[in-house]
């Protein structure tokens, strides 16, 4: 039975494993921060549930208040675990942190699947139990990625007869590559779920493993992913990460809604981390000031006429780094500088450090996670490289455009949906793009972008100003989510 009148705000519980500014390892953290805020502005009531990791900075922990605690059974043999609820409010959004020392007292959110499976089985079940405990009945439970994949399954099974069981569920795929797989016995033990769910339509994979994401996708009322193109791609062999047949089977409930960015957090007009803030009106004068400050900070030759390429990324093969590696020396010339900010796979970290030593004053490999430097690169670089092998949505190209930095991207997933290809004949477009996953195509594309920058600055400047004016906010997509919530709530 529908609980709400049409005029009542829709109540949505977000359940996910990370959320800026408490914990962020990638785009999921940005979305968990920005989308609830955008929904709030559209008269939606939002609560965000996430684990209370030990690594959450003290200043946020100090703002939390204890909302209660209880014991919850979890495993096949009925072991009981403590569930604490710590709560904080920030700008109208309520955050409930699920506390349990045994699972969350050891550093980073993700430490390896063997430990992560129990951690997120506990989290998924505890989040639903917490909603019941708080007597907050959502219309929709919006789950994010495999870490919350069990939520739709618990909702329709163990929690079906409880108050929260009336809610509808949405599972959003932010990255299909990560799925939460383990042996059937490990999964059965930790989920405590009945045997009948361990079949090939729900948990089991062709390799006779159990897959949390697969089960969640089967049980969710709706499945969304973060761009229309990725929603299509994941139904194919190449992008489907071995779940393509499963997704194709469930295609009637699958759709894509493109991510936005928080335009208050990412605002070159007010950004305190920049040497010179700027808008569309003075970007052409102020961007070079930021570029010189960045060159100075990173030990590059201070020269505003250089073509500066930025790369801000997790260092993993997903991000097309093999293509960059294949063309790096051919891409470099005296007019070019490259700034890399990222951490990840040691082989890429080593490769970029190597290029830094080969091209002193021209290449900087900053192998760290550094929010403030990220802002300065978005403001100072001329172009941002995102030649991904696959990219569900991608946020860096959106942030880049907002800062008047021209994206150089491969046409895949959200990159294809958000960056219109530059057309030399008409001058239209937002960036430089290529289709096949090919190093030569990337090289041609980088060279074309550099040629426009160095030899046709008027055309370049028009792209810069156009990109800054492009709407990359959440407003439109938040409205699409709201429509989906309303349709489900009815
Ligand atoms: P993904 O989620 O696949 O990592 P996205 O493009 O969706 O990629 O989001 C990446 C987010 O993480 C962006 O906000 C980007 O600025 C940020 N980011 C990535 N690497 C770093 C880093 N080393 N330092 C600071 N911010 C980073």
Separation in Å, CA 61 to CA 56, 99, 130, 162, 383: 7, 12, 19, 31, 38
3-state helix, strand, coil in the chain (%, to 5): 40, 20, 40
- Are 350 and 413 in the same domain? yes
Please tell me the distance between residue 477's alpha carbon and the centre of ligand 1 in angstroms: 20
Please tell me the distance between residue 209's alpha carbon and the centre of ligand 1 in angstroms: 31
- Are 202 and 226 in the same domain? yes
Instruction: Find where tokens 């690169």 sit.
Output: 377
**Residue 274 belongs to a domain:** no
- Are 351 and 234 in the same domain? no
- Are 453 and 326 in the same domain? yes
Q: For residue range 86-96, what is the model confidence (pLDDT) as tens digits?
A: 999 999 999 99
In CATH, what number is assigned to the domain containing residue 314? 3.40.50.2000
Please tell me the distance between residue 150's alpha carbon and the centre of ligand 1 in angstroms: 26
395 lines ligand 1 (CB under 6 A): yes
- Are 382 and 324 in the same domain? yes
Residue-wise burial string across 249-281, b where 16 or more C-beta atoms lie within 10 A, e elsewhere: ebeeebebbbbbbbbebbebeebeebbbbbeee
**Residue 216 belongs to a domain:** yes
**Residue 272 belongs to a domain:** no
Ligand 1, atom nearest to 371 Cα: 25
Phi and psi of 12, rounded to 5°? Answer: -125, 130
**Residue 265 belongs to a domain:** no
Full residue range of the structural domain in which residue 25 is found = 11-260+475-489
The tens place of each residue's pLDDT in the chain, 490 residues long, gives 344 455 689 999 999 999 999 999 888 999 999 999 999 999 999 999 999 999 999 999 999 999 999 999 999 999 999 999 999 999 999 999 999 999 998 778 998 888 999 999 999 999 999 999 999 999 999 999 999 999 999 999 999 999 999 999 999 999 999 999 999 999 999 999 999 999 999 999 999 999 999 999 999 999 999 999 999 999 999 999 999 999 999 999 999 999 999 999 999 999 999 999 999 999 999 999 999 999 999 999 999 999 999 999 999 999 999 999 999 999 999 999 999 999 999 999 999 999 999 999 999 999 999 999 999 999 999 999 999 999 999 999 999 999 999 999 999 999 999 999 999 999 999 999 999 999 999 999 999 999 999 999 999 999 999 999 999 999 999 999 999 999 999 8
Ligand 1, atom nearest to 261 Cα: 14
387 lines ligand 1 (CB under 6 A): no
Most informative mutation of 314, 345, 386 for ligand 1 (most atoms within 8 A of CB):
314
262 lines ligand 1 (CB under 6 A): no
**Residue 269 belongs to a domain:** no
- Are 253 and 306 in the same domain? no
- Are 251 and 294 in the same domain? no
- Are 327 and 462 in the same domain? yes
- Are 80 and 109 in the same domain? yes
Rounded CA gap, 227 and 204, in Å? 27
**Residue 1 belongs to a domain:** no
106 DSSP assignment: S
Residue-wise burial string across 390-399, b where 16 or more C-beta atoms lie within 10 A, e elsewhere: bbbbbbbbbb
End-to-end alpha-carbon separation of the chain, Å?
8
396 lines ligand 1 (CB under 6 A): yes
H/E stretch holding 49 reads strand 45-51
- Are 246 and 290 in the same domain? no
pTM reported for the whole predicted model: 0.95
**Residue 270 belongs to a domain:** no
Rounded CA gap, 297 and 84, in Å? 44
**Residue 6 belongs to a domain:** no
- Are 110 and 197 in the same domain? yes
Number of domains present in the structure of the chain: 2
User: How wide is the angle at C-alpha 427 spanned by C-alphas 422 and 429, nearest 5°?
Assistant: 35
Give the residue, by CA position, lying nearest to ligand 1 atom 9: 27
Q: For residue range 2-25, what is the model confidence (pLDDT) as tens digits?
A: 444 556 899 999 999 999 999 998
Is residue 369 classed exposed, middle or buried when 0-12, 13-18 and 19+ CB atoms within 10 A define those classes? middle
């Amino acid at each position: 039975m529908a609980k709400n009148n049409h005029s009542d705000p829709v109540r949505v519980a977000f359940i996910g494993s990370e959320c800026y500014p408490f914990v962020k390892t990638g785009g999921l953290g940005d979305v968990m921060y920005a989308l609830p805020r955008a929904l709030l502005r559209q008269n939606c009531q939002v609560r965000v549930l996430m684990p209370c990791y030990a690594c959450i900075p003290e200043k946020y922990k100090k703002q939390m208040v204890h909302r209660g605690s209880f014991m919850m059974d979890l495993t096949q043999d009925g072991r009981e675990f403590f569930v604490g609820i710590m709560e904080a409010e920030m700008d109208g959004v309520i955050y409930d942190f699920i506390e349990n020392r045994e699972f969350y007292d050891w550093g980073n959110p993700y430490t390896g699947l063997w430990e992560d499976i129990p951690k997120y089985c506990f989290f998924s079940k505890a989040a639903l139990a917490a909603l019941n405990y708080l007597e907050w009945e959502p219309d929709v439970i919006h789950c994010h990625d495999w870490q919350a994949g069990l939520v739709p399954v618990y909702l329709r099974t163990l929690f079906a007869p409880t108050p929260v069981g009336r809610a509808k569920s949405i599972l959003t795929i932010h990255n299909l590559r990560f799925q939460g797989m383990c042996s059937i016995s490990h999964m059965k033990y930790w989920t405590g779920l009945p045997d009948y769910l361990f079949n090939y339509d729900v948990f089991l994979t062709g390799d006779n493993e159990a897959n949390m994401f697969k089960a969640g996708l089967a049980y969710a009322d709706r499945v969304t992913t973060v761009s229309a193109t990725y929603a299509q791609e994941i139904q194919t062999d190449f992008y489907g990460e071995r779940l393509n047949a499963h997704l194709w089977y469930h295609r009637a409930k699958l759709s894509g809604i493109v991510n936005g960015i928080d335009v208050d957090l990412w605002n070159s007009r007010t950004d305190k981390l920049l040497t010179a803030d700027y808008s569309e009106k003075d970007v052409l004068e102020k961007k070079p000031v930021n570029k010189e400050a960045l060159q100075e900070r990173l030990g590059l030759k201070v020269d505003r006429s250089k073509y500066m390429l930025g790369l801000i990324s997790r260092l993993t093969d997903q991000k097309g780094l093999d293509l960059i590696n294949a063309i790096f020396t051919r891409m470099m010339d005296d007019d070019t500088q490259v700034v890399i900010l990222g951490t990840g796979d040691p082989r890429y970290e080593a490769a970029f450090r190597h290029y830094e030593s080969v091209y002193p004053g021209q290449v900087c490999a900053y192998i760290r996670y550094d929010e403030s430097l990220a802002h300065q690169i978005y403001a100072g670089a001329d172009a941002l490289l995102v030649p991904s092998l696959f990219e569900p949505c991608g946020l860096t190209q959106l942030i880049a455009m907002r800062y008047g930095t021209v994206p150089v991207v491969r046409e895949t997933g959200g990159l294809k949906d958000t960056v219109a290809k530059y057309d030399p004949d008409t001058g239209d477009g937002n960036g430089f793009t290529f289709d096949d996953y090919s190093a030569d195509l990337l090289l041609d594309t980088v060279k074309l972008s550099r040629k426009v920058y160095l030899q046709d600055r008027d055309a370049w400047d028009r792209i810069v100003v156009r990109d800054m004016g492009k709407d990359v906010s959440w407003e439109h997509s938040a409205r699409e989510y709201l429509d989906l919530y309303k349709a489900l709530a009815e």
